[in-house]
């Protein structure tokens, strides 16, 4: 029986890649997985998260520690912290592929890496709009699916990748498109979203329905699909959209109380963002038109 060399997961003989961490089966070995202590580990980060709804994550880096972040997330750093903008990956091919994937996500082609030498240093990071920062410690091989704008920064050797929604219905009607960000351990990862967070630890086959825009992150083990709401009247006048995301355990689910789209709509209610109209407003304008 083959085993994944990336996370030690046992693989089926017919598998072409590891379902846990995505490592191609060509990199698998027929030998039993090595003990957990032999996997690459990450020294715990010294960090604090300060603030209420405009939070800042403050990280004290030790010599040799490295973190990477999306462009524009840095708030400050001490002079002893050096930064470098580069494509992620080890080889040219891996870096080009990573850049193409990030282009699909609508993100910058590059990530910014931070590290320090000597006595250490400090750097601070924050999101682009009011919300919360959540730190999660991912074990080796454990993956977390995150909304496309949810990633803030992570500790090396954690990996940032993209994941395609498996079902067409979820991709077309989920409100977040086909692509999600995928964070894989080991290491600490930091995510940001709007308002406050609500967490659910779903048992096997336990299900929760969420307005898709409010989903922040969920474990890779959680099933994800889209379901049509109860009826046409509810869909048109309920104000909750036509579809709800159905998340099925086992695994963790994180939900946000405020979406960026709702924040924009409340700040400028007379404007239409991204070509989306409120269905009730459209019908009201249609029937109240004097022409």
Q: Are residues 17 and 157 in the same domain?
A: no
Paired tokens of 271: 């404007």
Instruction: For residues 287 and 4, give the distance between their C-alpha atoms in angstroms, rounded to a whole number.
Output: 61
β-sheet bridge partners, residue 222? none
DSSP result, 223-260: EEEEEE-S-HHHHHHSSS-SEEEEEESSEEEEEEEE-H
Q: How many Cβ atoms from other residues are within 10 Å of residue 28's Cβ?
A: 21
The enclosing domain of 147 has a CATH number of 3.60.160.10
Instruction: For residues 233 and 128, give the distance between their C-alpha atoms in angstroms, rounded to a whole number.
Output: 36
Q: Are residues 52 and 88 in the same domain?
A: yes
Inside any domain, residue 283:
no
Inside any domain, residue 71:
yes
**Looking at residue 111, what is its pLDDT?**
84
Instruction: For residues 225 and 206, give the distance between their C-alpha atoms in angstroms, rounded to a whole number.
Output: 14
**Looking at residue 35, what is its pLDDT?**
40
Inside any domain, residue 189:
yes
Q: Are residues 111 and 223 in the same domain?
A: yes
Q: How many Cβ atoms from other residues are within 10 Å of residue 75's Cβ?
A: 11
3-state secondary structure of 70: coil
Q: Are residues 99 and 215 in the same domain?
A: yes
Inside any domain, residue 40:
no
9 within 8 A of 3, measured Cβ to Cβ? yes
What is the enclosing helix (H) or strand (E) of 61? Answer: strand 56-61
Range of the domain at 223: 46-265
**Per-run averaged pLDDT (10 residues), the chain, 291 residues:** 57 64 52 41 85 91 91 91 76 57 60 87 92 93 89 91 63 55 93 92 94 88 79 58 82 89 69 46 44 44
**Looking at residue 191, what is its pLDDT?**
95
Instruction: For residues 91 and 287, give the distance between their C-alpha atoms in angstroms, rounded to a whole number.
Output: 60
pTM to 2 decimals? Answer: 0.70
Provide the domain count of the chain: 2
């Amino acid at each position: 029986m083959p085993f994944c060399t990336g996370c030690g997961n046992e693989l089926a003989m017919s598998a072409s890649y590891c379902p846990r961490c995505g490592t191609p089966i060509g990199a698998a070995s027929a030998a039993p997985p090595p003990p957990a202590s032999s996997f690459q580990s990450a020294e715990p980060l010294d960090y604090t998260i300060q603030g209420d709804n405009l939070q800042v994550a403050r990280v004290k880096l030790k010599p040799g520690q490295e973190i990477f972040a999306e462009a524009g997330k840095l708030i400050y750093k001490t002079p002893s912290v050096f930064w470098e903008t580069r494509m992620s990956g080890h080889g040219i091919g891996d870096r080009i592929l990573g850049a193409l994937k990030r282009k699909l996500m609508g993100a910058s082609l590059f990530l910014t890496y931070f590290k320090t030498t000597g006595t250490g240093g400090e750097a601070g990071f924050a999101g682009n709009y009011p919300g919360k920062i959540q730190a999660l410690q991912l074990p080796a091989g454990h993956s977390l699916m995150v909304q496309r704008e949810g990633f803030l920064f992570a500790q090396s050797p954690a990996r940032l990748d993209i994941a395609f929604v498996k079902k067409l219905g979820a991709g077309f009607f989920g409100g977040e498109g086909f692509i999600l960000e995928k964070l894989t351990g080991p290491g600490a990862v930091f995510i940001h979203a709007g308002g406050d967070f609500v967490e659910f630890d779903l048992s096997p086959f336990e299900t929760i329905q969420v307005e898709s825009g409010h989903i922040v992150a969920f474990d890779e083990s959680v099933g994800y699909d889209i379901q049509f709401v109860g009826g046409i009247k509810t869909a048109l006048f309920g104000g909750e959209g036509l579809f709800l995301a159905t998340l099925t355990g086992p695994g963790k689910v994180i939900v946000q109380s405020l979406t960026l789209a709702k924040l924009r709509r409340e700040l400028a209610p007379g404007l239409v963002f991204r070509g989306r109209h409120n269905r009730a407003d459209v019908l009201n304008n249609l029937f109240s038109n004097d022409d």
